[in-house]
Amino acid sequence: MFYEFDFGDGSRSVRSFSPIAEHTFIEAGEFTVTLTVEDDLGNPGEVRHNVLISDAYEPCQDPLDCDADSTCVDKECRIRTTRQAAEIGSR
């Protein structure tokens, strides 16, 4: 399997043999994230999702302080940008 993540913010696409990619959005805004998957036979598939990135962070002391889509980084709840390709494709 081959995966390509395009985060829709003008940054370079991430190509990988892993269904996991990490990305940090530099600025707030609405972005269309595209995941393209190609299986071992060369059959492609694609899914797109709009994401809203906010620059306003909730304070936290522990990852459990944040909701399921966020994680605690430098005492701020930040949206997770790492998703399993299977999870994205199932939506």
Q: What is the rounded CA–CA span in Å between residue 30 and residue 28?
A: 7
CATH no. of 2-54+82-89:
2.60.40.10
Q: What is the pLDDT of residue 14?
A: 92
- Mean pLDDT score across all residues of the chain: 79
Q: Where are the domains of the chain?
A: 2-54+82-89
Closest CA to 36 of 61, 15, 9, 64: 15
* pLDDT at position 85 over 50: no
Q: What is the pLDDT of residue 21?
A: 86
Q: What is the pLDDT of residue 34?
A: 95
Q: What is the pLDDT of residue 56?
A: 58
Q: Percent of the chain, pLDDT > 70?
A: 73
The pLDDT of 3-29, averaged and rounded, is 89
